């Protein structure tokens, strides 16, 4: 009985999870005149989806926004993961003094909601000339990526026997060489898993991008999509939904392409 109930239950959960996806695709494929609250569940067999994609691309100027977001979602997590790996290596392998309290200090930045620091962050960016610059957004996305990266990498490095570090020291390897040639290759799966999670967060970020950027060449893709709607009117709902579908494709492809490494990294990182 259990062998039958479990697949059925998981299948129902899968269908329930796919319902919003179905609604998104179906309604993004409709012409603006065909969309109404009474027809949201009815599929459309036209070719309006491609037209809606083109409309979104032109109205929201997604070309420059996608390039900017790609830069942020790659550079920020990459630098953050490397810094987090360095923090974990220093605490676990080097056993620095008060390492636990250094870890609490770094990871404690995630305790406070992001909304609490938006105003001082905005004022600081305006005073230092970082507002509406790519460097400023890369900096803030890197800082946000460090605490979680340090948490995962510290957990991963605790699973590596300290004898590995001691043996490398006896063989004459420097601290940098041990970190770069031994510990980083061993933690590749965990680093990839953290990178994917942080890159997805940055790709889907709206709050920071909306607060710290303004120009089309700097703002991320999610704030760019907000230009499709305004207080006094905006694009039709199928066009807005097509925009949401379009910007979600890269993260879906990323997860599908790296799912094995991601699953292995989740297990090794001991989240």
Question: How confident is the model over 116-138, as pLDDT tens digits?
Answer: 888 999 999 999 999 999 999 99
Angle, vertex CA 191, rays to CA 187 and CA 197, nearest 5: 155
Closest CA to 92 of 222, 182, 208, 205: 182
Question: What's the CA gap between 126 and 215, in Å, rounded?
Answer: 14
Q: DSSP label at 226?
A: G
Cβ-contact 212, 131 below 8 angstroms:
yes
Task: At 164, list the tokens.
Answer: 């590995």
What 8-state DSSP symbol labels residue 233?
-
Determine the average pLDDT of the residues in 227-236. 61
- Report, as an integer, the average pLDDT of 60-76: 87
Burial classification of residue 219, based on how many CB atoms lie within 10 Å of its CB (0-12 exposed, 13-18 middle, 19 or more buried): buried
Instruction: Summarize the confidence of residues 100-114 as an average pLDDT.
Output: 84
* Nearest Cα residue to 157 out of 95, 98, 76, 111: 95
Task: Answer yes or no: are the C-beta atoms of 220 and 139 closer than 8 Å.
Answer: no
Terminus-to-terminus CA distance in the chain, angstroms? 33
pLDDT reported for residue 235: 66
Q: Residue 234: what pLDDT?
A: 58
> What are the chain's domains?
6-35+44-269 (1.10.3720.10)
Q: What is the pLDDT of residue 105?
A: 87
What integer is the mean pLDDT of 56-74? 85
32 confidence band (pLDDT: 50, 70, 90)? confident
């Amino acid at each position: 009985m259990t062998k039958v109930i479990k697949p059925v239950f998981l299948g129902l959960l899968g269908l329930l999870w796919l319902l919003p996806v179905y609604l998104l695709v179906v309604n993004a494929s409709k012409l603006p005149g065909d969309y109404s609250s009474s027809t949201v569940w009815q599929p459309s067999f036209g070719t309006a989806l491609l037209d809606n994609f083109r409309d979104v691309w032109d109205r929201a100027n997604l070309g420059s926004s996608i390039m900017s977001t790609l830069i942020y979602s790659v550079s920020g997590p990459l630098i953050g993961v490397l810094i987090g790996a360095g923090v974990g290596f220093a605490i676990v392998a080097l056993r620095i003094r008060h390492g636990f309290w250094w870890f609490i200090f770094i990871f404690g930045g995630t305790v406070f909601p992001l909304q609490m620091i938006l105003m001082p962050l905005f004022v600081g960016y305006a005073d230092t000339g970082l507002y509406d610059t790519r460097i400023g957004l890369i900096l803030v996305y890197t800082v946000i990526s460090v605490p979680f990266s340090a948490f995962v990498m510290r957990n991963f490095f605790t699973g590596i026997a300290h004898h590995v570090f001691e043996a490398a020291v006896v063989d004459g390897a420097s601290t940098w060489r041990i970190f770069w040639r031994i510990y980083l290759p061993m933690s590749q799966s965990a680093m990839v898993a953290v990178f994917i999670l942080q890159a997805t967060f940055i790709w889907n970020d709206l709050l920071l991008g909306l607060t710290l950027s303004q120009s089309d060449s700097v703002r991320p893709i999610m704030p760019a999509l907000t230009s499709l709607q305004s207080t006094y009117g905006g694009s039709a709902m199928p066009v807005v939904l097509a925009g949401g579908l379009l910007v979600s494709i890269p993260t879906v492809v990323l997860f599908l392409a790296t799912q094995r490494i991601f699953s292995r990294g989740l297990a090794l990182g001991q989240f």
